[in-house]
A and B are shown apart, each in its own frame.
Chain A
Amino acid sequence: MTTQPMTAAPAQIEARRRGGGKRRRKPGTAWGPIGWVFLVLLVLFSLLPMVWMFFTSIKSQLTALQYPPEWYPHNPTLEEYHRLLSPSSEVGGEFLTFLWNSIYVSTATTVIGVAIAVPAAYAFSRFRFPGRKFLFFAVLFRNMFPAVVFLMPLFIMMRLMGLVNTQASLILTYLTFGLPLSIWLLKGFYDNIPIQLEQAARIDGATRFQAFMLVVMPLSAPGITATAIYSFITAWNEYVYALTFLNDDDKLTLPVGLQRFFSEYVTNWPGLMAASFIMSVPVVALFLVLQKYFVRALTEGAVKS
């Protein structure tokens, strides 16, 4: 695991080892200066667009439309943020409605999705009923199909059910991608909870359902949190269903609202960047705080250790 045991290695091995490049913990991943340059470039590539988004958002409309551009905002202003977040202004009133709609739809999707996915994931992880493998892969198979091809039948279905232009239609369709993903993530967590705990509970007289509710559920709280937040982020960022199913301005979610709203003021780039920034901050914050869980959750299924 660590380099400590290696200090006892014969000198010649040590010498050859050094010849292979500077290495710390993991042999075979010592890439030297090239690795560092690559990493720095990659960080810049990831970060600079975000920085530019923020810089633009604190410029005035006039300074934003300058050529050559002002590389660094000399007279930063929070004007656009003020406008967007004050309910009294026309733009702000609309923006806050979109924000609220996004919060509402994402939360509802998450709560319903996780509540349905938890028992299913548990069953896929623990029970050995016939057809288990087939059903699980059927669940995963959904992820192979793009949202766009589900749009037409769902659109017709929503029309029949009278749900077009309601947020219920979004919540229902978000389950199409939310559920399989949640089941997949949660199954990974359940696979890691030792089955002996439930077996012990069963011996102590708990029913199967009690063992699940009282022993497994508390232990899987981190997994459920991670899954819930991941499904929240996916719903928050979803675009194509919201674009197709909603028409009324007061029902739009942020991703679509952003578009409709700014097409009227095409040139207000600082405003658009400020809105994008406000929209990105919560998800980035949530993700980074819970990074550890996500990384585990996302990779659990694909990579068996």
Chain B
Amino acid sequence: MATAAPVNANRVDPRRYRELNVLQRMYRCRADYLYVLPSLGVMFLVIGYPIYYTVYLSFFNTPPSLSMDEKSFAGIENYSRILASSRFHEVTWNTTIWTFASTFFAFVLGFGAALVLNREFPGRAVTRGVLLVPFVISAVAASYVWRWIYHSDFGVLGALAVQMGFSDTPLNFLDSIDYALPSLIVVNVWKEFPFAMLLMLAGLQTVPDQLLRAATVDGASVWQRFWHVTVPHLKGVILITVLLLFVQNINHFTIPWVMTGGGPAGASDIWITQIYQIAFGRIRFGLASAYSVILFAVMIVIGYFYVKALAFGDERPNA
């Protein structure tokens, strides 16, 4: 990408082009913008404006009727109310566990799967296909299947535990304050480890064989080759994969909402489900907007690293 000459370079002598100021350059490239204009237009309408409006709304008290003429300015009251509430701290703690645990296990399973799949064996393509199925199916369907598997009376998992002697009575998964969140994390990991697997598999294919061979010749063990050759080479890919998983998890709504709705007693409530509950359950858009802005702030910090990691990948010379 970096090496190829731009298509439009022949219109202007490159040396002269460099001397132009930004406005002149933009004018020279005016036709280019036509290509991106429809996208930017739609994105402004459905992304840019909503972000602005959320920030704006977070400083207001909104009436349950949602007629926005009747909203009243509240200053930072929404924020102070959220940050002071003990509910916020519980939900933040749940969100932290949910996000870190899901990311960690999805990454480990995905990386492991990628390592095993990164060699030729009969049925490799079929195996990869099977492992991708959870990733493709709808989160709602997945949530219902797992709800049925976890069912407290007729669930197959509880019955299995009894059968194998782990427990006398079928286990309670989703109705238990202690097990609800871990049970959801299992479902989430099940659903998204294939995504990590795909990215890591693509990354592994870029590790040069010569490097690994050279390490072998030098007497490196399997583990040493993995740790000192493969992992350093994949640093960029690992970073991006972990960041993407992290973002996906912190933003995940469907599985917790469909499976437990945040319950029992808020034991599996995370930021997203809480925001949804405040906005569309209690119809308090102002408060929910303030909550969203706090989430924005966190995402912007992560987004900064994400863009940096991507830009880092972009600067690397193409092989």
Contact = CB atoms under 8 A, between A and B. Distances in A.
B6 A149 contact: no
B5 interface: yes
A65 to B, nearest CB: 5
Interface stretch (B75-83, B85-93, B174-182, B289-297): B289-297
Interface stretch (A12-20, A75-83, A86-94): A12-20
A304 B203 CA distance: 8
Given A116-B38, A202-B10, A303-B237, A154 B141 contact: no
The 5 closest A-B pairs by CB, nearest first: A146-B251, A299-B202, A123-B35, A153-B50, A129-B29
Interface in B260-319: 272, 275-276, 279-280, 285, 288-289, 292, 295-296, 299-300, 302-303, 306-307, 310-311, 313-314, 316, 318-319
A43 B130 contact: yes
A302 B311 CA distance: 10
Q: Is the interface of A mostly helix, strand, loop or mixed?
A: helix
A49 B146 contact: yes
A129 B118 contact: no
B199 A68 contact: no
Interface of A: 1, 6, 13, 16-17, 20-21, 23-31, 35-36, 38-39, 42-43, 45-47, 49-50, 52-53, 56, 64-69, 116-117, 119-120, 122-131, 133, 135, 137, 139-154, 156-157, 159, 172-173, 175-176, 179-180, 183, 191, 195, 198-199, 202, 208, 211, 233, 236-237, 239-240, 244, 254-256, 258-259, 269, 272-273, 276-277, 279-280, 283-284, 287-288, 291, 295, 298-299, 301-305
B25 A130 contact: yes
Interface residues of B, number: 134
Given A47-B133, A67-B170, A176-B46, A126 B6 contact: yes
B57 to A, nearest CB: 7
B97 interface: no
Contacts of B9: 128
A151 B113 contact: no
Contacts of B149: 49, 52
Given A149-B275, A176-B46, A302 B253 contact: no
A137 B40 contact: no
Contact of A305 (B7, B33, B206): B206
Contact of B138 (A147, A151, A236, A272): A236
Interface of B: 1, 4-10, 22, 25-26, 29, 31-36, 38-40, 42-43, 46-47, 49-51, 53-54, 57, 66, 68, 109, 112-113, 115-121, 125, 127-134, 136-142, 144-146, 148-149, 151, 153-154, 156, 159, 162-163, 170, 190, 194-195, 198-199, 201-207, 209, 212-213, 215-217, 219-222, 225-226, 229-230, 237, 240-241, 244, 247, 250-254, 257-258, 272, 275-276, 279-280, 285, 288-289, 292, 295-296, 299-300, 302-303, 306-307, 310-311, 313-314, 316, 318-319
A152 B237 CA distance: 34
Contacts of A21: 222
B145 to A, nearest CB: 5
Contacts of A126: 6-7
Given A29-B115, A29-B230, 10 more contacts: A1-B209, A28-B215, A67-B159, A127-B35, A156-B285, A202-B7, A211-B7, A256-B140, A272-B144, A302-B310
Contacts of A146: 250-253, 272, 295
